[in-house]
Chain A
Amino acid sequence: DVVMTQSPLSLPVTLGQPASISCRSSQSLLYSDGNTYLNWFQQRPGQSPRRLIYKVSNRDSGVPDRFSGSGSGTDFTLKISRVEAEDVGVYYCLQGAQWPWTFGQGTKVEIK
Protein backbone atom coordinates (compact mmCIF):
# COMPACT_ATOMS: atom_id res chain seq x y z
CA ASP A 1 0.00 0.00 0.00
CA VAL A 2 1.10 3.59 -0.58
CA VAL A 3 1.97 5.17 2.76
CA MET A 4 1.09 8.83 3.16
CA THR A 5 3.07 10.73 5.79
CA GLN A 6 1.94 14.17 6.91
CA SER A 7 3.85 16.73 8.93
CA PRO A 8 3.42 18.32 11.28
CA LEU A 9 0.67 16.37 13.03
CA SER A 10 -0.23 19.42 15.13
CA LEU A 11 -0.03 23.01 13.87
CA PRO A 12 -0.80 25.91 16.22
CA VAL A 13 -1.18 29.08 14.14
CA THR A 14 -1.81 32.73 14.90
CA LEU A 15 -4.86 34.21 13.21
CA GLY A 16 -3.88 35.95 9.99
CA GLN A 17 -0.59 34.09 9.71
CA PRO A 18 0.27 31.49 7.05
CA ALA A 19 0.25 27.75 7.59
CA SER A 20 1.82 24.93 5.63
CA ILE A 21 1.22 21.17 5.76
CA SER A 22 3.47 18.62 4.10
CA CYS A 23 2.37 15.27 2.70
CA ARG A 24 4.84 12.72 1.39
CA SER A 25 3.97 9.47 -0.35
CA SER A 26 6.00 6.26 -0.35
CA GLN A 27 5.55 5.99 -4.12
CA SER A 28 5.05 8.46 -6.93
CA LEU A 29 1.42 9.51 -7.35
CA LEU A 30 1.89 10.22 -11.06
CA TYR A 31 -0.60 7.93 -12.77
CA SER A 32 -0.27 6.42 -16.24
CA ASP A 33 -2.80 8.95 -17.61
CA GLY A 34 -0.44 11.81 -16.76
CA ASN A 35 -2.43 13.02 -13.77
CA THR A 36 -1.17 13.12 -10.19
CA TYR A 37 -3.89 11.96 -7.83
CA LEU A 38 -3.24 13.82 -4.61
CA ASN A 39 -6.14 15.47 -2.82
CA TRP A 40 -6.63 17.47 0.36
CA PHE A 41 -9.58 17.29 2.74
CA GLN A 42 -10.65 19.40 5.69
CA GLN A 43 -12.61 18.03 8.64
CA ARG A 44 -13.95 20.67 10.98
CA PRO A 45 -14.79 19.60 14.54
CA GLY A 46 -17.96 17.50 14.61
CA GLN A 47 -18.40 17.57 10.84
CA SER A 48 -17.92 15.20 7.94
CA PRO A 49 -14.84 15.83 5.80
CA ARG A 50 -14.97 17.99 2.69
CA ARG A 51 -12.58 18.15 -0.22
CA LEU A 52 -10.52 21.30 -0.68
CA ILE A 53 -8.05 20.41 -3.43
CA TYR A 54 -7.94 17.70 -6.10
CA LYS A 55 -5.14 16.60 -8.42
CA VAL A 56 -2.51 18.49 -6.43
CA SER A 57 -3.54 22.07 -7.04
CA ASN A 58 -7.15 22.36 -8.21
CA ARG A 59 -9.34 24.14 -5.69
CA ASP A 60 -12.90 22.90 -5.29
CA SER A 61 -15.84 25.21 -5.85
CA GLY A 62 -16.51 27.37 -2.82
CA VAL A 63 -13.06 26.87 -1.29
CA PRO A 64 -11.48 30.20 -0.36
CA ASP A 65 -8.48 31.19 -2.45
CA ARG A 66 -6.31 31.39 0.68
CA PHE A 67 -6.01 27.59 0.28
CA SER A 68 -3.52 26.36 -2.29
CA GLY A 69 -1.91 23.05 -3.14
CA SER A 70 1.38 22.29 -4.81
CA GLY A 71 3.89 19.52 -5.37
CA SER A 72 4.71 16.63 -7.62
CA GLY A 73 5.79 13.00 -7.55
CA THR A 74 5.98 12.15 -3.86
CA ASP A 75 6.14 15.54 -2.17
CA PHE A 76 3.10 17.78 -1.70
CA THR A 77 2.09 20.84 0.30
CA LEU A 78 -1.14 22.49 1.37
CA LYS A 79 -0.79 26.16 2.23
CA ILE A 80 -3.19 28.53 3.94
CA SER A 81 -2.07 32.07 3.20
CA ARG A 82 -3.80 33.69 6.18
CA VAL A 83 -5.42 31.43 8.73
CA GLU A 84 -8.95 32.31 9.82
CA ALA A 85 -10.91 30.97 12.78
CA GLU A 86 -13.07 28.79 10.50
CA ASP A 87 -9.95 26.92 9.31
CA VAL A 88 -9.62 25.08 12.62
CA GLY A 89 -9.84 21.35 12.09
CA VAL A 90 -7.95 18.34 10.81
CA TYR A 91 -6.49 18.26 7.30
CA TYR A 92 -5.87 15.03 5.42
CA CYS A 93 -4.12 14.24 2.17
CA LEU A 94 -5.47 11.34 0.09
CA GLN A 95 -3.78 9.48 -2.76
CA GLY A 96 -5.92 7.94 -5.48
CA ALA A 97 -3.16 6.66 -7.75
CA GLN A 98 -3.21 3.14 -6.37
CA TRP A 99 -5.84 1.02 -4.58
CA PRO A 100 -6.29 1.00 -1.69
CA TRP A 101 -6.58 4.77 -1.69
CA THR A 102 -4.79 5.91 1.44
CA PHE A 103 -5.00 8.97 3.64
CA GLY A 104 -2.31 10.70 5.64
CA GLN A 105 -2.59 10.60 9.44
CA GLY A 106 -4.09 14.07 9.57
CA THR A 107 -2.77 17.45 10.70
CA LYS A 108 -4.66 19.25 13.42
CA VAL A 109 -4.73 23.01 12.87
CA GLU A 110 -5.58 25.09 15.92
CA ILE A 111 -5.40 28.75 16.82
CA LYS A 112 -2.66 29.83 19.24
Chain B
Amino acid sequence: AQSVAQPEDQVNVAEGNPLTVKCTYSVSGNPYLFWYVQYPNRGLQFLLKYITGDNLVKGSYGFEAEFNKSQTSFHLKKPSALVSDSALYFCAVRDPLNYGGSQGNLIFGKGTKLSVKP
Protein backbone atom coordinates (compact mmCIF):
# COMPACT_ATOMS: atom_id res chain seq x y z
CA ALA B 1 0.00 0.00 0.00
CA GLN B 2 1.07 3.53 -0.66
CA SER B 3 2.10 5.66 2.29
CA VAL B 4 3.93 8.86 3.05
CA ALA B 5 5.54 10.00 6.28
CA GLN B 6 6.60 13.38 7.53
CA PRO B 7 8.65 12.51 10.58
CA GLU B 8 8.71 15.99 12.11
CA ASP B 9 5.57 17.65 13.42
CA GLN B 10 7.39 20.98 13.60
CA VAL B 11 10.59 22.49 12.23
CA ASN B 12 12.04 25.68 13.65
CA VAL B 13 14.61 27.74 11.77
CA ALA B 14 16.03 31.23 11.99
CA GLU B 15 15.42 33.64 9.14
CA GLY B 16 18.22 33.48 6.60
CA ASN B 17 19.19 29.92 7.50
CA PRO B 18 18.58 26.98 5.18
CA LEU B 19 15.53 24.86 5.86
CA THR B 20 14.64 21.25 5.24
CA VAL B 21 11.25 19.61 5.67
CA LYS B 22 11.49 15.84 5.46
CA CYS B 23 9.29 13.40 3.60
CA THR B 24 9.64 9.67 3.04
CA TYR B 25 7.33 7.46 1.02
CA SER B 26 6.45 3.87 0.29
CA VAL B 27 5.03 2.77 -3.06
CA SER B 28 5.32 -0.31 -5.20
CA GLY B 29 6.31 1.50 -8.39
CA ASN B 30 8.07 4.73 -9.28
CA PRO B 31 6.40 7.47 -7.26
CA TYR B 32 4.83 10.72 -8.30
CA LEU B 33 5.57 13.17 -5.46
CA PHE B 34 4.10 16.53 -4.54
CA TRP B 35 4.59 19.28 -1.98
CA TYR B 36 1.84 21.63 -0.86
CA VAL B 37 1.88 24.61 1.49
CA GLN B 38 -0.97 25.83 3.67
CA TYR B 39 -0.86 29.32 5.12
CA PRO B 40 -3.09 30.06 8.14
CA ASN B 41 -6.79 29.98 7.35
CA ARG B 42 -6.15 29.12 3.71
CA GLY B 43 -6.43 26.10 1.47
CA LEU B 44 -3.46 24.06 0.30
CA GLN B 45 -1.39 25.50 -2.51
CA PHE B 46 0.77 23.50 -4.91
CA LEU B 47 4.52 24.07 -4.51
CA LEU B 48 6.23 21.53 -6.76
CA LYS B 49 6.13 17.98 -8.04
CA TYR B 50 8.43 15.21 -9.16
CA ILE B 51 7.22 13.01 -11.99
CA THR B 52 10.40 11.96 -13.79
CA GLY B 53 13.74 13.40 -14.88
CA ASP B 54 16.10 15.48 -12.74
CA ASN B 55 16.09 14.50 -9.11
CA LEU B 56 16.22 18.16 -8.05
CA VAL B 57 12.92 19.86 -8.67
CA LYS B 58 12.45 23.62 -8.37
CA GLY B 59 9.11 25.12 -7.40
CA SER B 60 7.36 28.24 -6.21
CA TYR B 61 8.69 30.79 -3.71
CA GLY B 62 12.30 29.58 -4.04
CA PHE B 63 11.59 26.08 -2.76
CA GLU B 64 13.16 22.97 -4.20
CA ALA B 65 12.97 19.28 -3.41
CA GLU B 66 15.32 16.40 -4.00
CA PHE B 67 14.07 12.99 -5.01
CA ASN B 68 16.22 10.19 -3.61
CA LYS B 69 15.06 6.80 -4.81
CA SER B 70 17.47 4.75 -2.69
CA GLN B 71 16.37 6.50 0.48
CA THR B 72 12.72 6.77 -0.66
CA SER B 73 12.76 10.43 0.29
CA PHE B 74 11.58 13.71 -1.17
CA HIS B 75 12.78 16.42 1.21
CA LEU B 76 11.73 20.02 0.71
CA LYS B 77 14.50 22.61 0.92
CA LYS B 78 15.13 26.31 0.69
CA PRO B 79 18.58 27.92 0.91
CA SER B 80 17.49 30.94 2.95
CA ALA B 81 14.30 30.91 5.00
CA LEU B 82 11.93 33.86 5.28
CA VAL B 83 9.52 34.62 8.12
CA SER B 84 6.78 34.54 5.48
CA ASP B 85 7.62 30.86 4.81
CA SER B 86 6.04 29.98 8.16
CA ALA B 87 3.19 27.64 7.28
CA LEU B 88 2.08 24.02 7.27
CA TYR B 89 3.72 21.85 4.61
CA PHE B 90 2.27 18.64 3.20
CA CYS B 91 4.00 15.97 1.18
CA ALA B 92 1.86 13.71 -1.04
CA VAL B 93 2.53 10.62 -3.14
CA ARG B 94 0.82 8.65 -5.87
CA ASP B 95 1.85 5.29 -7.27
CA PRO B 96 1.10 5.34 -11.01
CA LEU B 97 1.21 1.54 -11.19
CA ASN B 98 -1.85 1.46 -8.95
CA TYR B 99 -3.69 4.26 -10.70
CA GLY B 100 -7.40 3.69 -10.80
CA GLY B 101 -10.08 3.65 -8.15
CA SER B 102 -9.05 4.75 -4.71
CA GLN B 103 -5.47 3.73 -5.39
CA GLY B 104 -5.13 6.63 -7.78
CA ASN B 105 -5.78 9.27 -5.17
CA LEU B 106 -2.97 11.31 -3.69
CA ILE B 107 -1.89 10.12 -0.26
CA PHE B 108 -1.00 13.02 2.03
CA GLY B 109 1.37 13.12 4.97
CA LYS B 110 0.16 14.57 8.25
CA GLY B 111 1.95 17.84 7.65
CA THR B 112 4.92 19.65 9.15
CA LYS B 113 4.60 23.05 10.72
CA LEU B 114 7.47 25.30 9.70
CA SER B 115 8.22 28.21 11.99
CA VAL B 116 10.76 30.79 10.86
CA LYS B 117 11.85 33.27 13.51
CA PRO B 118 13.37 36.68 12.77
Chains A and B bind each other:
no
Chain B residues close to A by CB (< 8 Å)? none
